[in-house]
Chains A and B, each alone.
Chain A
Amino acid sequence: METILKTVDLVKYYGDGESQVRAIDHTSIEVENGEFVAIVGRSGSGKSTLLHMLGGLDRPDSGEVMIGGKNIFSLKDEQLAVFRRRKIGFIFQDFNLIPALNVWENIILPLGLDGKKVNRDFVMDIVKSIGLSEKLKSLPSQLSGGQKQRVAIARALASRPAIILADEPTGNLDSKTEMEVISILKTCVRKYGQTLVMITHDETIAQMADRVMIIEDGKVVR
């Protein structure tokens, strides 16, 4: 199988001296194309920092992040932004939908930013998959937490990225909705042949992944 994501000796420290926090400490991981990987760790273990670096949101002190064979930190900020909207789909814990845009607009937002024409059939298919066909004109403020996260999933899928990064996607949801959202996420990823890296502190959720990585004190221990 082809390696879609690879980190090489990734380092990110905060602060100096005694107060230094080793958020990511010489971490190297690999993710195969089409794989669903869960990164599990306690609060403060460095999992969010790792995900931010995988997505090119934050730059490491040293090391590389290769996506599709390209070291993303060799790109300038503007190039990195373009790379993100084309190759990476994000799903955040608190949904991060644009309040002024309706469901449809939120979903096609990455395509709009890229100046691409919307493949209506493809996006409608995603919308059907997440079960929000009736809510396309609704504004985020009218949606439940689960519905908002489903919109975020659709947004991540819409631009057919190389990899989807999910940061505690069920962290703000109740247990019933949590399972529902994770099921939809997993189904969609399979359906559209996407690679998914999800960070979570919930072992039960993690068990739904193809592979689980455990992170402690900035190091992947398993």
Chain B
Amino acid sequence: MNIITTTALANLRKNKSRNILIGIAIALTAFLLTMMPTVVMGNLSLQFEAVNELYSPVHGVYRNVDDETAARMAQDETFEAVGLREQAGRMYSRNKDIVASMLCFDETALGLSKMELEEGKFPEKADEIVVSAGCLKAMGLKGNVGDRIKVPYQPMRKGKFLEATEREFTITGMTEDTPEALEKGFFAPMVSEAFAKETIPEGEHAYEVYFQLRGIEGMPTDKIEEQVKLTGEHYGISERDTAENAEYLTANYVDTALYTGLGVLLAAIVLAGILTIYSIYYVSMLDKVKEYGKLRAIGATKGQIRKLVCREGFAVAAIAVPAGIAAGLLSGILLLRALVNSSISSNRALGEEMKVILENGDVSLVKGWIILLAAAVSLATVYVSLLTPMHKASKITAMEALRYQGGEKGKRKRTARKGFDELSIPKLTISNLGRNKRRTAVTILSLGATGILFVTAATICNCMNAEDITRESIRRDIKVEIDYEEDDEMHPEWALDQIQQNNPMTEELRLRIEKIDGVTSVETSLKTMGKIDKAKDNGSGMPEDEVRERSGKIAPDEINCEVKGLDDEAMKELSRYVTEGSLDDPSIKGGTGVIFSESTLKQEHPDWKVGDKLLLQVMDGEKIRERQVTFAALSKAPPSLMGYYMVMPEGALKNMCSSDITYYWDISVESEKEDRAEKEISELISDAEVLEMSTFREENKASEKAIRYTLYGCYGILAIFGLIGILNLINTMINSVHVRKKELGMLQAIGMSGRQTVYMLQLEGLFYTAGTLAVSLGLGSILGYAVFLWAKEGGIMGIRVYHYPAVPAVCLAGIVLAVQILITYFVNINFKKLSLIERIRFAE
């Protein structure tokens, strides 16, 4: 071992307290650099594994593809694989709640869709079929593999079902029923390509093309999605008929946004690490000037001094980095397990699959590259933090060191100080803080930076109110609404206008609900789908009070709005959220005024202004009703009140439509009778499958859970940053005492009592505390409010009302103050360990 290394190791022991502090800072940096990616990447690996387990390995699907296009696609080199799926018909059941779509797959589609049979084989001949036990039961049939069954079915042609007919099939295989399929009565029996060919004449097929693109390895997901769209366009497939397999793509290709986010987070950790380690070195360098000067005096070269500082730093890192990585890995895995087991994934099936994968240990959560990366980045952080101290130490000359008095060095040397006429302990403290202005400012700012982040995040967390979030979707205690599906071409019967033609939300049902014990009110809201455009010549061509009737329907791809009808009570509530225009506008009273949701309008029609005349068409059963309306007001009301698009007074909307367009009931219930009322309502609506009930209590629980994890995560990261900040404070205080040990000893020699010394240190500490709190709370509150406004504008996490984070702010103040008191206490104890004479002799 050469003399530089020996000296560095000796220094390691000599500067024990400083090196412990630096060690903790380095270990914390390594800890965060390991823990964060372990949790994020582990979660992604589990999710990706689950996706690959559950989802088809296709990049996307093109729907409604005709025979010729499908054939061209199959020949196209752009595609790695092209599989065809088609609905050839549906089994006919008198019970319209049973849906059994007869699907046929070509061989590639079968492979891509990961279809597995419980037993038997896939159908090949025209009279072969694969069914499930649930399907047979629902259809009132019986049979096993090899049995022949007579199936009534409606063949499909150009998107329409023909007259029902019957055919005998041989069961070649059985599939498993999912619980969802059994619950909803949705089944997918499989027929052969031969059957599809027999049933659907050539040229009239409408395939779903499952495909994999060629040559996209290593491409980011957004580029792949773009290519899916472009390829679709090339074949004349509309955007509506194009769907990318987002989950599969995210799981298997690079998601730029995700990695950018992780990168930014890691960069923030590295920056915090550099700031802390550097500031610890910066402060302790003041103490080491004499020592390096002496080494220079006895002949050490600049390079040797640089090496000395560097080796001492890396000797600390050699212990701290592995410790930090080990702790980070362990915490990361534990945290990840807790996260997965608490199922916070939005997709239930995916969440369950992730749990299974985690339990089976199919995915390794310990990733070598994360450990290597964390080690490399931690060491780089240490090196970067050491650069300036190395440079400074090497520049110290022997003469400089011998003359050194521990004062501020720099280009702007102060020659005089106005000073005080009389002295006291507080004045002495002010003089001392003034001497180390830069160090004082660096400490307050680096501590304050963590505080600012803390207060800002606390503001957002505090404004993330579970009840506010729940009220976005549910206004009263219980909501009963129609569960419709507008875009499902396979199931036009699920569209809102179709359901409303035979609306299950009858007046009779409403009255029965109202009579339930505990129910205090049932408020009705209307809704219908429609189309809205600017009126030609701003309405000059059409009289205001006329409602025109047209036969037919608005084509699904032309529907561009939904209109809600609100009763007087709800309209009153809505008036609180009006941001432009007024609900007293004569057009609203006259039944032609509409109110738009601000966020939707700004996005879709930024050029429309209050007072504009618009042409509104709404669906009314088999008819279209059309009238000219006036854009009367803009509102920021939550979706539970005004929906996502536009509202009209109930009377005005009823006036346009003759059919019953009731859409939901907001039910208020006495709190002590809620359980029973809930049960009774649920029973009452159980017959109508399209009705869905949700309760405030349940939704609120989910909101609370969602916020809880965000809060935990948020405060967890902040606590670690806070810890780094506190380390900084401890270091500054310890060093301010350590560096001035002789000075303090001398002050005591000329008569400063122990109590006065502690008082002075306390005042210094108080100054740091006050400075840190002023920066944290002042700038943090301003930044917090700005972020609140941004979140409110963007409707993020249901943030609407500003709540100042008083409790976290008081906690922050309390913690900083407590840390300060503790530090002073320990410094005092440590200080007393040395006798006065030792202190006076210090550094000699």
Contact = CB atoms under 8 A, between A and B. Distances in A.
B405 A140 contact: yes
Given A100-B434, A112-B427, A137 B837 contact: no
Interface stretch (B383-391, B620-628, B746-754): B746-754
B405 A78 contact: no
Contact of B422 (A78, A84, A90, A118): A118
Given A52-B837, A111-B423, A102 B417 contact: yes
B756 interface: yes
A137 B415 CA distance: 8
Q: For B406, B425, B435, B749, which residue has the most chain A Cβ atoms within 10 angstroms? A: B749
Interface residues of A, number: 40
Interface in B219-276: none
Interface string A54-92: 010110000000000000000001100110111000101
Contacts of B421: 104, 118, 120
A145 B297 CA distance: 21
A110 B419 contact: no
Interface in B405-457: 405-407, 413-425, 427-428, 431-432, 434-435
Contacts of B750: 84-85, 90, 109-110, 113, 155
Contacts of A29: none
A117 interface: yes
Contacts of B425: 113
Contacts of A115: 424
A138 interface: yes
B153 to A, nearest CB: 96
Q: For A77, A82, A99, which residue has the most chain B Cβ atoms within 10 angstroms? A: A99
B749 A84 contact: yes
A139 B424 contact: no
B835 A58 contact: yes
B840 interface: yes
A80 B627 CA distance: 98
A3 interface: no
A113 B844 CA distance: 26
B419 A104 contact: yes
Contact of B416 (A84, A96, A98, A138): A138
B416 A139 contact: yes
B743 interface: yes
Contacts of A85: 750-752
A142 interface: yes
A155 B406 CA distance: 21
A137 B749 contact: no
Given A78-B754, A99-B435, A142-B415, A58 B837 contact: yes
Given A78-B754, A82-B753, A99-B406, A112 B416 contact: no
Contacts of A81: 748, 751-754, 756
A185 interface: no
A180 B755 CA distance: 38
A108 interface: yes
B836 interface: yes
Contacts of B431: 98, 100-101, 105
B751 A110 contact: yes
Contacts of A58: 835-837
A197 to B, nearest CB: 15
A112 B836 contact: no
Given A96-B746, A139-B414, A141-B407, A105 B419 contact: yes
A117 B420 CA distance: 13
Contacts of B753: 77-78, 81-82, 113
Given A57-B840, A100-B435, A109-B423, A141 B755 contact: no
Q: Would you list the 8 A-B pairs with minimal beta carbon distance, nearest first?
A: A85-B751, A112-B423, A100-B435, A81-B753, A99-B407, A137-B416, A96-B746, A102-B419
Interface of A: 52, 55, 57-58, 77-78, 81-82, 84-86, 90, 92, 94, 96, 98-102, 104-105, 108-115, 117-118, 120, 137-142, 155
Given A57-B837, A99-B407, A113-B750, 12 more contacts: A84-B750, A90-B749, A90-B750, A96-B746, A98-B746, A100-B432, A101-B417, A105-B420, A110-B751, A117-B422, A137-B418, A137-B419
25 contacts: A52-B837, A55-B749, A57-B749, A77-B754, A78-B753, A78-B755, A81-B756, A82-B751, A90-B749, A94-B844, A96-B742, A100-B431, A101-B417, A104-B419, A104-B421, A105-B423, A105-B431, A110-B750, A112-B427, A113-B425, A113-B750, A114-B751, A120-B421, A138-B415, A139-B415
